[in-house]
Structure 1
């Protein structure tokens, strides 16, 4: 008898699932292919670029105890050691502030999260829909989440890695809890949650999510029935099951919050509570709408608290929240629709931390990252139930092809949206230009757009944009600091001093008001004034790198060798191997000026910005432009070893080996321990041979 061997259906489905997953991964890589060399933006400056703490891996243990190491800005301090640790590792791997390494790091965490989201969706959806369909629906949901256009706002913004990491550990904890119920006694899910607390203050939402999971899926109780007398015991038991998790998360969160000594000025609780809550109803509607229509994304929105309760936006928001609650209750009734209810609960619960507290920033698009994990589950489940009910229609005449084509169109449209948002986040100028177009009433947006023009030496137009910013934010001290810098660049010194002084009046406890004024005086060879202001800045913020640089320059000019030696030693303790501090230390020991006084530092708002631009040009294959940019750096900071190293690398790519060798030798003279120059020099010498 001849045996007929038929390939198992399960094997075919697994193969199809694997191929589909690989295709989605390839699409994810293609969508983000143009983002890996995107630079640092906004809060990245004080948390990454100027943060000396991340430049030394030996600081990692202290990241878990000292909130000052998270940021150089005293008003942005917080204990998020998991974030700071990963940034320090990236800095070490990159050998400096190479954005490619930082971007890849965040992206890999995102991929890991998407994989876990797939398994989480599969666990939840198979409770409502045919088990053999669940993996494909889960994969579609994970792919949609991973490629959603809105997610690009979080992936591109490096310090928003906190959102990625906290969401990663929340999902990891949740998935562990629901997948291995027999092993809950070992508390692995609790440890994962505790790790997430060290990334961001959103993990306390996890017990809420698990409570509703237990209620809906394990106790199989609808929200209508939860408060009925026969089910009160089950509800209480559900709460009791989560008490160990609540205790640990609360303890760790209280520990991290206890380390914060000063509330952020940008995130501070400064809005009226009632109006803030009303405004959040509209914000929730905006977030929900953005899932389906992600067209008006902005890196820095201009929405403020809506103080008129009859404003149409408030009416829309209140109606939306009411509809959301009703939908959650209705969909919790049947097992088939409970994933829809749970996804909406996830969406709402994830927004609670930034909604209940009246933050100054009413809305941020990167806050949708965590929320969309739940909303995607609701949408794909609802769509799947819709298709399942009309299965005969879709199977007739192979109409399912239109269904597949529709889904692919959604995925491709989002991938294209990601690609376009990556272009917006490419550099400071493109980002803040987009903000001024999307959020024209945002004074900070106009100011930061002006900064990009000032970085190119266009002080006149920068002043125009700074004055535009004053129309919306006249009390912002940083705005007057930048006006002072711009007027200094225009040689209008009386106006420069006037604006620096205004910044001091507006924010007498902000170190930047003193440090940039000090830098200006150093440029004007007013060394005593520069020293005094730099010391005042350091009295407020003992980790201000710019203040130390000004103080060292002023001490050298004044011949204060003991003070210079002491200051250089402090800088080297904060940033071992810092080339500038090493040179100043040598000057102090020789009691002889080595580094010339700065001239025209205002020709660049930040040397770091120019270095990053040169890296972007190098990665884009624009080697001659990279060299010209680095030459601009050297005209401002002739002791910058990174500039010489980048020139060397660019000349190597142009096969101009002699010029490459010369540049790298200068880089190593300035910084014998430069992480990249030795390899670039060896390449130039080997190729010349």
Structure 2
């Protein structure tokens, strides 16, 4: 008689399972409690902080077609519209560039993934094992993944939410396919996969995972069965059933890759053979070992390409990959160990994109996020089988308490590791100091640590650190840019110009060097030089807001008011509510110099400035701009009656009477004695009638 295996998703949930799940959720929140105010880091600068595209929700449709919207850097063009859309929403919800909302958003995506992993692990293990402890094994897996110390490297790095979102939708697609086989014909799993493609280029791995799932779990094959002639038709049938997914994912992926900038597509590796066949074997070993011993994590490693095939790391890596393949084959033989085989296949397949395509970074710890979904399944399944095998011992005299304690210790140790890594990611100085200690041969790490010193005004020490970074990576143009800035701070202008010039020679197609060189000239009141450099930066990257800011300052210094007006208008196209562009526009309209407000200006002064600018815009007939400026004032002072009155007057001129009446009504609620609002309100009411 065939034993019927109950659907794991429909099994009754014991009270203890719910309590354990709630406890894990609380522990997850506590472990990450100190990370929500952690700073922006590294690529966050050009994808978030300097990317004015995310400051306007109306740009969201364009995120899916315009690669310029992803980054302020011309070297990082591409389409990851799901990521950019979520960043724009975070900016809007948080009211600006406040890390809390960005960190919270990534964390919520992570929690959602962990919940799905419980159901995925439970279903995969439950397909081959009906033991009552299976749900607890699955919960242990989801909790271990969620609180794994390595995962903190991805959660803390905001732009690396691309890893979180792509993994989220891969798992969502996979789980939908597995849990609802009768609904596959509707293609919901394909739609979920497409959403993942819009986050990162890892989703093409999904068809590989589903192929092996079909073979191992639905056809009951071992990997040895793949090589039997009698099974060819079934294998081809599996591929055929996945063809719609393969075609759609490949098509969407090709679309996103075709929109990537040439600089982004070129990963700068001159030795793909050494990168792929040699170095990546050791990298895989490092990732595997880090699951069990996550002690030497670094936000930016210093591992380079290993070209010597006799290097002990290469030998160890080849032995590891060989052992991995043998283990996958052996564990695929028995049904109860197939989740182990499948988890290891997931681990290996997830690393293929960054192993087959040479990247500038040979190894990066945040790449383990996707891979650990599979490795966690393998580990907890192995441990679960060992425990179930000795069930009699653990149930005797309540020895199962030892299991609870052991599971708690594993989770708690990882949670403590998460808490400590959060402290490292707290700010730029703590992060890059840690990188210089863990990866002392990383020139970029030293350079970024030098930036933290320069931010504090310690130009002398910054020069020393930048020099060390230059010695480690003499072809890195950005380090020369920073040396130029630091020498400028020390008033050593000949050395500043020399280093800026070297940066331009090394990277003539990078707008960043021109922008910072332009800013240096502006600070020296060399307005013509600043103008020329800023224009060269904009010729390379028309979305460089720094270049616009410098150019506006230079044009004001040169009293070229007409050109300043045009440039300010172009800058406002990028960010309609930018206060500096509005100030320069006011200067151009008044044809007199307006001193830009300092960064630490009080809200009160800013609001007054916005109101004055809105009046100028109203008088110039620029009613939409007037409304936008008043909204910026209201973001600082929500109870400003003058702002609402000016909005009312502008809407009257646009003949949008209902909006005008609403704004004037609000103005009078805030200030019943307002001198202009009653007349503006009367006009709106009369015209409406």
Unaligned runs of 5+ in 2: 1-9, 614-628, 642-669, 671-689
| Residue 295 (structure 1) aligns with | 295
Q: Trace 1:321-336 onto structure 2 (pairs within 5 A).
A: 321-336=321-336
| CA displacement 1:46-86 (0-9 Å, x = unmatched) | 00000011111111111101111101111111110010010
2:437 aligns to what?
A: 437
The CA distance in 2 between the partners of 1:639 and 1:266, in whole Å, is: 39
Which structure 1 residue ranges, 5 or more long, are not aligned? Answer: 1-9, 597-637, 646-660
CA distance in 2 between counterparts of 1:407 and 1:275 reads: 38
Pair 1:102-2:85 in alignment: no
Q: What does residue 410 of structure 1 align with? A: 410
SS of alignment partner, residue 221 of structure 1 = coil
Residue 374 of structure 1, CA deviation:
0.4
- Shift of residue 269 of structure 1? 4.2
User: Equivalents in 1 of 2:481, 2:533: separation in Å?
Assistant: 14
Identify the residue that residue 93 of structure 1 maps to in structure 2.
93
TM-score normalised to structure 2 length: 0.87
Using the TM superposition, give the Cα deviation of residue 129 of structure 1 relative to its aligned residue in structure 2, in angstroms.
2.4
Per the alignment, in what secondary structure is the counterpart of residue 264 of structure 1? Answer: helix
Q: How many angstroms does 1:136 deviate by?
A: 1.2
SS in 2 for 1:150: helix
Measured in 1, the distance between the counterparts of 2:158 and 2:21 equals: 26
Q: In 1, Cα distance between the equivalents of 2:425 and 2:612?
A: 35
| Counterparts of 1:32 and 1:455, CA distance in 2 | 27
* Secondary structure class of the residue paired with 2:284: helix
Q: 2:602 aligns with which of 638, 644, 647?
A: 644
Are positions 1:224 and 2:224 aligned together? yes
Deviation by residue 1:277-311 (Cα, 9 ceiling, x = unmatched): 21000000000000000000000000010011100
Q: CA deviation at 1:668?
A: 7.3
Partner of 1:389: 389
Q: TM-score, normalised by structure 1?
A: 0.87
CA deviation string 1:481-511 (max 9, x = no partner): 0000000000111110111011111111111
Q: Please report how far the alpha carbon of residue 662 of structure 1 lies from its aligned counterpart in structure 2 after TM superposition.
A: 7.4
CA distance in 1, matches of 2:266, 2:437: 22
* 1:71/1:33 CA distance change after superposition, 3 Å: same
Whole-angstrom distance in 2 between the partners of 1:12 and 1:332: 29
Q: Decide whether aligned partners of structure 1 residues 70 and 590 sit closer, same or farther in structure 2, where only a CA change above 3 A counts.
A: same
User: For residues 238-387 of structure 1, what are the structure 2 equivalents within 5 Å?
Assistant: 238-264=238-264, 267-387=267-387
Question: What residue in structure 2 maps to residue 501 of structure 1?
Answer: 501
Question: For the Cα contact (< 8 Å) 1:664–1:680, is it kept in 2?
Answer: no
Distance 1:662 1:498, change over 3 A: closer
Give deviations 1:350-372, integer Å, cap 9, x for gaps. 00000001111100000000000
Cα contact 1:75–1:265 (8 A) shared by 2: no
How far apart, CA to CA, are the structure 2 residues paired with 1:12 and 1:240? Answer: 36
User: How far apart in 2 are the matches of 1:292 and 1:50?
Assistant: 38
Distance in structure 1 (CA, Å) of the matches to 2:605 and 2:561: 32
C-alpha displacement at 1:665, in angstroms? 6.2
- Preserved CA contact (<8 Å) 1:137 1:381: yes
- Name the CA shift for 1:310/1:80 in 2 (closer, same or farther; >3 Å): same
Deviation at 1:396, TM superposition (A): 3.1
Partner of 1:524: 524
Contact 2:274 2:305 in 1 (8 A): no
Q: In structure 2, how many angstroms separate the alpha carbons of the residues matched to 1:85 and 1:78?
A: 14
What are the superposed Cα offsets for residues 131-185 of structure 1, whole Å, 9 maximum, x if unpaired? 4222111111000000000000000000001000100000000000000000000
CA shift in 2, pair 1:586/1:256, >3 Å: same
* Large movers: runs of 4+ above 6 Å: 661-671
C-alpha separation in 2, matches of 1:536 and 1:663: 32
Distance 1:408 1:51 in 2: 42
Contact 1:580 1:639 in 2 (8 A): no
In the aligned structure 2, how far is the partner of 1:399 from the partner of 1:437? 44
Over the aligned positions, Cα root-mean-square deviation in angstroms equals 1.9
- Number of positions where the alignment pairs a residue of Structure 1 with one of Structure 2: 617
Distance 1:269 1:112 in 2: 36
Q: CA deviation at 1:233?
A: 1.2
Note the C-alpha offset of 1:229.
1.5
Q: CA deviation at 1:393?
A: 2.5
Aligned to 2:51: 51
Report deviation, 1:470: 1.4
- Equivalent pair of 1:644/1:667 in contact (CA under 8 Å): no
Inter-partner Cα distance in structure 2 for 1:662 and 1:358: 52
- Residue 378 of structure 2 aligns to a residue whose secondary structure is helix
Aligned pairs for 1:424-463 (under 5 A) are 424-463=424-463
8 Å CA contact retained: 2:37, 2:426: yes
Shift in Å, 1:95? 1.2
Distance 1:547 1:327 in 2: 56
| Greater C-alpha Rg | 2
Query: Where in structure 2 are the equivalents of 1:99-248 lying within 5 Å?
Result: 99-248=99-248
Match of 1:534 in 2: 534
* Cα distance change, pair 547–663 in 1 and its aligned pair in 2 (3 A): closer
What SS does the aligned partner of 1:129 have? coil
Q: Is the 8 A contact 1:53 1:69 kept in 2?
A: yes
Q: 2:634·2:640 contact (CA, 8 Å) conserved in 1?
A: no
Q: Could you tell me how far apart the structure 2 residues matched to 1:128 and 1:263 are?
A: 48
Change (3 A) 1:24 1:680: farther
8 A contact 2:606–2:633 mirrored in 1: no
Q: Distance in 1 between matches of 2:57 and 2:341?
A: 44
- Could you say what secondary structure the match of 1:225 adopts? helix
For the Cα contact (< 8 Å) 1:447–1:469, is it kept in 2? Answer: yes
The residue that corresponds to 2:636 in the other structure is: 677
Residues 196-241 of structure 1, C-alpha deviations (whole Å, 9 max, x = no match): 1010000000000000000000000000112201211111111111
- Change in 2 beyond 3 A, CA 1:13/1:247: closer
Distance 1:514 1:45 in 2: 17
Q: Tell me the equivalent position of 1:515.
A: 515
In the alignment, the residues of structure 2 paired with residue 286 and residue 667 of structure 1 have an alpha-carbon distance, to the nearest angstrom, of 55
